[in-house]
Amino acid sequence: MRVLVTGASGLLGRAVAARVRAAGHEVRTFQRRPSGVPGVEDVRGSVTAADDVARAVAGVDGVVHLAAKVSLAGDPADFERVNVHGTERLLAAAARAGATRFVQVSSPSVAHSGRSIVGDDARPADPGRARGDYARTKARAELAALAADGDGMRVVALRPHLVWGPGDTQLVARIVARARAGRLPLLDGGRALIDTTYVDNAAAAIAAALERADDDAVHGNAYVVTNGEPRPVADMLAGICAAAGVPAPRWSVPAGLARAAGGAVEAVWRVRPGQDEPPMTRFLAEQLSTAHWFDQRRTRADLRWRPEVTIDEGLARLRTAAARGR
């Protein structure tokens, strides 16, 4: 197949492009800067520009869509333009170009209403109850993608949860920076049980969804992807900090106080946004203080996939990469 991978300049996008190419497919990537993935055709552009999208999808058989605006704060119109309208534009262009498979890379946050998730399968995306502009617009994008599933183009939605690994400039880098500065608290002692996903496992699951998209038991469905090794938040943060050689967080804040503070920070950020992510938001406080781990049996059975790298193996790789960078 000739496969288009959008958003391949990010950690997961690069891993997906490399994985799909290693499976023997011809890979084209589409993003605003070079992907850095060897052996792929880079197309520069944005999902917000119709001409760019048309160039990107020309002649492709399958699409893996990862490009998105991912942030805890920002102009709501930007989330709408990239995550919703960009996805709709890509879906329409892919169908016109004759693509037969489309994998929408989504997020478990599309079905998270702020309460604990304890061993659930993928709940339906719910824009009305999702928390924050990112989650709401990703929920609408997922619904648009699944609505496009049909005989001409088979669509699958994958929701990798908290993806991390060496080279991660989002989750890992921010955890390490805040821990080093002494600004990484635990909420309610970090007792909440959470799932995470090592980047190679997430990439392998997405590649498996692309291969399995023509199966009637698979297309039209959404799947949550995790390592299937839920751990307390405090343990995951300590493991990442130890790998980077920085002190793990030791001080705790009540979750209710953190949520209230997050709401206040969001209000300030809307008026006077900072250069980096806000230090706390209501969504982040909920993520750090509520359980969210998932039943992986349907995901593994339908995609014929299992994680290849355990959390402990992933942390060891993170430690090795950090040591080389020092």
Please give the positions annotated as active site: 134
3 state DSSP class of 6 = strand
Scanning the structure block, which residue is given the tokens 């993608």?
145
- Tell me how far CA of residue 306 lies from CA of 201, 204, 302, in angstroms: 8, 9, 11
Rounded Cα distance, 72 and 16, in Å: 24
Catalogue the E-assigned strands of the chain: 2-6, 26-31, 41-44, 62-65, 101-105, 117-120, 154-160, 163-164, 186-187, 193-194, 197-198, 222-225, 231-232, 252-253, 292-294
- How buried is residue 216: exposed, middle or buried, by Cβ count under 10 Å (0-12/13-18/19+)? exposed
Phi, psi of 299 (to 5 degrees): -55, -50
Rounded Cα distance, 175 and 235, in Å: 13
Rounded Cα distance, 119 and 39, in Å: 40
